[in-house]
Structure formats: structure tokens, C-alpha cells
Structure 1
Amino acid sequence: VEVPEIDVDELAPLIAAGARLLDVREIEEWQEARVPGGVLIPLGEIPDRVTEIPTDEPLYVICKSGGRSASACEFLRARAIDAVNVTGGTLAWIESGRDVESEST
């Protein structure tokens, strides 16, 4: 399955415009730091929760660095969901100096 990719510089204006972001990291990672506006479904839970994922517009998928999100995109695209992998993941988002949310804020 061919997975389209974007980087965090391309993602930022899309998120600002209301694009859907799926974070597939574990809850502990998500609580530590996350891209604002993302929805958490850990990678291992996606098969059981695929019905929760909207299919009517592109879905940008992020993890820590891009590996788990690529796997999630392959799974979702095989089910006709327009999933796009965010290369570099949350690490790249943080390194670029963009805002994050966490449980302590």
C-alpha cells in the first residue's frame, strides 16, 4: 500500500485550518506532549476502533517519529481511509518549536 507523507511544516497550516489528526502513540507519550487538536488511538487499538475513524476527509497520522504512524496509515488505507503519514512525528513538531499540549498544562 502506497502511503502519502507530509512533514510538520506542511502539517501546521492544515491543523490550523481544522484538519483531522490521529495520534497513534501510547497514552503515556500522549500525556507527555502532543500536537494540539489530535485524537489519540494507540496503534494496537486501531483494528478494534477503526469504526471511530472518520472517512470523509484526509486524516493525518502522527506518532513519535513516523514509524508507527506509517504502519497505521497502511492499515487505514487498505480500508479506504485517506490516511497521510506525518514524517518526523511529534519529535519533529517539538524540534520545530511549535506549541504542544500536555497533561501538566
Structure 2
Amino acid sequence: MTIETDLADLAAAHTAGAVVVDVREPDEYVGGHVPGAVNIPLAQVRGRSAEVPSDARVYVVCASGNRSKGATDTLRAAGLDAVSVRGGTRAWREAGHPVTTGARP
């Protein structure tokens, strides 16, 4: 079962330096992402789960919250404390939070 959280939780955690994984495709990520988010496309999550820190909660985002659910389940199966963020990057942007463009987190 996917564990979800809301945008307010992500915003508070982000301010405190939370780990954010963006599971959108690279072209989507480059167009605008949560500052500091690491891009691991959904199709690569299983193979790259070892790259995700295991010592803190991980916030998983996509465009709207659908792909992040599957990625969250995969990361949780790998033993990580991962949560999917409802509304994803679209909601983050619409709420007026900053986004970073380009390929760097």
C-alpha cells in the first residue's frame, strides 16, 4: 500500500533539507523541478534504489502524483522510508513554491 503525504508536509521537510526524488522523465525534470530533487526516472527506480539515502524519509514526486505512487512502493520494498507526494510537481509549482530548471538538482 502506497503511503502518501501532502504538499504542506513536503514544503516543511524541504525547508529542513529533505531528500526529494523526482521520477519523471529527464525532459520533464529539466523543464522545472523541486529545488534539490534528484532525477531517477520511474523505469530506473528499481535498479537505482541503492542511490537513494536510507537514513531519512524520501519524498517522491512526479508530475501529478501517479507515477510517484509506483516508485514509492518500489522504494519501500527496498527497505526505504519513502512517501509519495499528492499533486506532485504541478501542485508544488501552482502553490507558488520555487522550481529549478535544467539538468542539475
- Tell me the TM-score normalized by structure 1: 0.93
Q: Given that residues 8 and 86 in structure 1 are in contact (C-alpha distance below 8 angstroms), is that contact kept between their aligned partners in structure 2?
A: yes
- SS of the residue corresponding to residue 54 of structure 2 reads coil
- SS of the residue corresponding to residue 76 of structure 1 reads helix
Residue 62 of structure 2 corresponds to residue 63 of structure 1: yes
Residue 46 of structure 2 corresponds to residue 54 of structure 1: no
Which amino acid in structure 2 is aligned with residue 13 of structure 1?
A
- SS of the residue corresponding to residue 21 of structure 1 reads strand
Matched pairs, number: 103
* Structure 1: segments with no counterpart, 5+ residues: none
Q: Which residue pairs with 1:84 in the alignment? A: 83
Structure 2 Cα separation of the partners of residues 66 and 41 of structure 1: 15
Structure 2 Cα separation of the partners of residues 65 and 35 of structure 1: 13
Aligned residues with identical type, % of pairs: 45
Counterparts of 1:1-105 in structure 2, within 5 Å, are 2-103=1-102
Question: After TM superposition, what 4+ stretches of structure 1 lie above 3 angstroms from structure 2?
Answer: none
Cα RMSD for the two superposed structures: 1.3
- SS of the residue corresponding to residue 60 of structure 1 reads strand
- SS of the residue corresponding to residue 75 of structure 1 reads helix
Structure 2 Cα separation of the partners of residues 85 and 47 of structure 1: 16
Q: Given that residues 3 and 83 in structure 1 are in contact (C-alpha distance below 8 angstroms), is that contact kept between their aligned partners in structure 2?
A: no
